[in-house]
Amino acid sequence: MTTADVSVAAIAQEIAARRERRHLLLLCDFDGTLARFDPDPRAVCLPDGVAAALGTLASSRDCSVGVISGRRLQDVRDRVTVPGELYIAGFHGLEIHAPGESFIHPDASAAAAALHALAARVGPQLAALAGVFIEDKDLSIALHYREASPANRLLAEARLLDAARAEIEAGRLRVLPGSYVVELMPSTTWHKGSALEWIRTRVEVLHGPVFTVYLGDDVTDEDGFRAVGPDGIAIGASDRVREAEFRIDGPAAVEQLLQVLAATL
């Protein structure tokens, strides 16, 4: 797919033209899409303007809003506190919260013990590498190296993958690369695109035919872009993505688009 760089106004017009009278399902990644990256993931917060626009959209009878993130589900719920109908997927979709319903993939909890043991084993090996740290997310572990030197990034990734080699080769864990992060996940075919389809099915039951818009900034969002299908629009928020139909420039442009949609829906 060829991704086109277009203005926020042009994308908003495209959404309005294609959506017709269908219910709008707006799904977004969190880090790098709704909020700017920070070397410390705990310091990332949802900008006030984004929160206000999401709250307006989620409270509209014509729109449902969701966030599909690599963070823990509860972590995302704590950071996205807006009124209205809200769907939250964590761990790239392995956990999902919907109004009146929750989901956890059966393979997720099965790998937790191996992931905890791996994080405990490899953490001390990486402690001496500046700019590198391991995040144990319970159902995944993430190696962060945004502030590390190129040499330390390569060394840290090599040490992590070497420590996890047996679990990876046995098919129990898989490697998920991202922006300055490498994540080890339970080995399953479930991904952000699967979460999108799970959420869309439930929104269709409540609201009838939907038009899906998905915004994401990283390679982990490509599955979500592909799952959008012909009845929707995939929008990339960085130049790292290839499968999106349109591309805008980062969280600031995403905020502008959300505000336009909130004002015109």
Residue 127 domain boundaries: 108-186
- Give the CATH number of the domain where residue 218 resides: 3.40.50.1000
Instruction: Name 145's Cβ contacts closer than 8 Å, sequence gap at least 6.
Output: 131, 132, 152, 153, 156, 157, 180, 181
**Amino acid in the structure at residue 213:** V
Q: Given a cut of 80, is residue 46 above it in pLDDT?
A: yes
Structural domain ending residue among the three candidates 186, 204, 229: 186
For residues 4 and 116, what is the distance between their CA atoms, to the nearest angstrom? 42
Instruction: Name 170's Cβ contacts closer than 8 Å, sequence gap at least 6.
Output: none
Residues 162 and 199 in one domain: no
> Between residues 192 and 137, which one has the greater pLDDT?
192
Structural domain ending residue among the three candidates 186, 204, 226: 186
For residues 193 and 116, what is the distance between their CA atoms, to the nearest angstrom? 26
How many independent structural domains does the chain possess?
2
Residues 101 and 195 in one domain: yes
For residues 238 and 244, what is the distance between their CA atoms, to the nearest angstrom? 10
Structural domain ending residue among the three candidates 157, 186, 215: 186
pLDDT, the chain, mean: 93
pLDDT of residue 2: 53
Residues 67 and 9 in one domain: yes
Q: Given a cut of 70, is residue 1 above it in pLDDT?
A: no
Residues 46 and 23 in one domain: yes
Residues 117 and 181 in one domain: yes
In this structure, the strands spanning 101-104 and 95-98 are: antiparallel
Question: What's the pTM?
Answer: 0.84
Residue 166 zone, left/alpha/beta (φ > 0; ψ -120 to 50; rest): alpha
Residues 137 and 222 in one domain: no
Residues 156 and 61 in one domain: no
Is there a catalytic annotation at residue 29?
yes
- Give the CATH number of the domain where residue 178 resides: 3.30.70.1020
Catalytic, out of 5, 29, 38, 107: 29
Residues 81 and 197 in one domain: yes
